[in-house]
Amino acid sequence: MKSRFAADEAERRVRAVRDDPAGRVALAAEAYPAALVGYGRAELAFLRWELARGVLHPELGSPWWRAVNDRLLRDKMEGRILAAEGGTASTPGARGWQEFLAAPSPSSWYRAHNRSVVSGYLDHVELAVNECAAERFMINVTLARMLFTHALIERPGLLLGRFARLGPRAGDPRTRSVGLFLNLRNVFPEVYPLGDISVEQVITLEGRVARMIDYGLIVPKLDATYDFAAETLQEPRLPALIADGVLRYAGPTVPATAFRADAITRLVASATRRH
């Protein structure tokens, strides 16, 4: 009974803010008890970026971005209710949030957050396919960055090599440093829809720091990152979302040759290679 109530109540609360972008932000923040508000820093910053882009607008926004956010909010609210009342979660994501609230840590936060987001991605491929190529590229990069940042916490040596000791601090969702990976405000265009903007233009618009992160750190470790996420999140479909260095969720949007590394990104890739 408690389990069914939690799922139904979570759905009711998400439905109440579905056409209210600012209400989505408030509901997302409400899922964190006062002692844990720091864990919501990166998530809420990302949500405000979505709000600024307009992707959550009930009429002019993106059905895909709205659906994925629905899933995250629903899982969070169900997990919050279950953490207080007890019961069994209806989804792996909700169970992750229940476990995070029972034993909060950077690792349990990423397992909860990323499992919910990954479920949203995999459940709504048909909506993503309808987005333009540049939007799908941004969607893919967003996922790659989230999975990579999680791995910084649990497998830093896999991604940073000799600099592994820096991983847990850099990836901690409570710190400002995580914004280097998860804050996309200064990385991608803050408009929706993107219109005639091409994937190549989006790549060109990335700043030097963003390029260093994407092409010096993340792209060379895509296979390791997605394999790690598949194991940790218990989602075996994840590795199929990349192939030959190309992000392929909702179809390939850019050839591997587009990720040409400059001298700095090549240096970063070499310095963080696992030995």
The mean per-residue pLDDT over the stretch 172-176 comes to 94
Range from 162-166, 179-183, 195-199 carrying the lowest mean pLDDT: 179-183
pTM of the model: 0.94
pLDDT given at position 208: 80
pLDDT band at 259 (very low <50, low <70, confident <90, very high): low
Q: What's the per-residue H, E or C state across the chain?
A: CHHHHHHHHHHHHHHHHCCCHHHHHHHHHHCCCHHHHHHHHHHHHHHHHHHHHCCCCCCCCCHHHHHHHHHHHHHHHHHHHHHHHCCCCCCHHHHHHHHHHHCCCHHHHHHHHHHHHHHHHHHCHHHHCCCCHHHHHHHHHHHHHHHHHHHHHHCHHHHHHHHHHHHHHHHCCCCHHHHHHHCCCCCCCCCCCCCCCCHHHHHHHCCHHHHHHHHHHHHHHHHHHHHHHHHHCCCCCHHHHEECCEECCCCCCCCHHHCCCCHHHHHHHHHCCCC
The mean per-residue pLDDT over the stretch 161-186 comes to 90
More confident residue, 271 or 127: 127
pLDDT given at position 52: 93
pLDDT given at position 205: 85
Per-residue pLDDT at 75 exceeds 60: yes
pLDDT band at 254 (very low <50, low <70, confident <90, very high): low
pLDDT given at position 207: 81
The mean per-residue pLDDT over the stretch 202-218 comes to 85
CA distance 15 to 213: 36
Per-residue pLDDT at 258 exceeds 70: no
- Average pLDDT score, the chain: 92
Give residue-wise pLDDT tens across range 88-126.
999 999 999 999 999 999 999 999 999 999 999 999 999
Range from 1-5, 9-13, 53-57 carrying the lowest mean pLDDT: 1-5
Residue ranges per structural domain of the chain: 1-130, 132-275
More confident residue, 104 or 210: 104
Give residue-wise pLDDT tens across range 223-248.
999 999 999 999 999 999 998 878 99
Q: In this prediction, what percent of the chain has a pLDDT beyond 90?
A: 75
Amino acid letter for position 210: A
pLDDT given at position 261: 66
